Structure formats: C-alpha cells, structure tokens
Amino acid sequence: MRIVIAGSMQFAEKMFEVRDELRTRGHDAFFDHELAANFLGKTDDAKEEVKIQQKFEDNAMERFWKLVDRADAILALNYDKNGIPNYIGGNTLLDIAVAYRGGKKIYLYHPIPNLSYRSEIEAMRPIVINGDLDKI
C-alpha cells in the first residue's frame, strides 16, 4: 500500500523511523523527506522557525497535499506534544481532511486526542492502530 506519513514536524525523526518500518513490511511509505530533513537535530524552538519558513517560502502544505493525492492511505503520527496526549495539530488535521476528501484510508498511530475538534476527526472514521504497524 502507498502510505503518506503525516504529523507535527516536531516528530520528524520518528517519521523516518516509521517510514523505514513500514517499508520493511512491504509498504511504499513516504513523506516530504526534503522538508523533514531540515528538522533533524534541531531544538523545538528552531523547528518552529523552520515550520513557518517552509509554509510561506516552500509552499509546504500544498507540497504535502500532492503527496496525499498519490497515496492510498495516510498515517498520522499523533504523539504527545505540548502536554496534549496523542496531539493532532492544525496542519495534520488539514492533511487528514485532504485524505478523507480524496477517499483515502486514514490511520492514526495513537487514539484520537481530546481536543475541540475531536468530533471532526471521529467523523472521518480513522483506524486507530495503537502503535502497531501490523494493523495497516
């Protein structure tokens, strides 16, 4: 299966790890590794600066949505962030919505977070894999 990996770029290191794990399971897993590589080894504050630059100068959102169009499914890596368990931020929510609109399968690495837009995520009927990549 062709799987695009989404999530906060705070988790860029994990994206590479999960991509490699999915590939060992026979999936064609990918994300915008060029943009993600700019986050490796940086502090959280530095990563925030890179995010802003990429959104405005590199058209990061549109670039990612084009990857979603090429995929069969999206896997959102929703790790804990800023004290919020299973965090799904604004960009990842948009990425999931694009996948939903395109009829793609939607997988969440962890359960749906308790955020104000929880019902919107639930309505897109994601499959929660609870960290078990064999469930894809």
Q: Strand runs (DSSP E) across the chain, as ranges?
A: 2-7, 28-30, 73-77, 105-108, 127-128
Number of neighbouring beta carbons within 10 Å of residue 105: 17
What's residue 58's pLDDT? 80
Residues of the chain short of pLDDT 50, as ranges, are none
User: Which pair of structure tokens corresponds to residue 135?
Assistant: 């469930």
What's residue 51's pLDDT? 77
Q: How many domains does the chain fold into? A: 1
Q: Strand runs (DSSP E) across 41-116, as ranges?
A: 73-77, 105-108
C-alpha span between 15 and 47 (Å, rounded): 15
pLDDT, tens digit, for every residue of 16-55?
Answer: 999 999 999 999 999 998 888 888 898 888 888 887 888 7
What's residue 53's pLDDT? 86
What's residue 116's pLDDT? 96
Domain residues for the domain of 10 are: 2-135
C-alpha span between 80 and 13 (Å, rounded): 14
What's residue 39's pLDDT? 84
CATH number, domain at 87?
Answer: 3.40.50
What's residue 44's pLDDT? 84
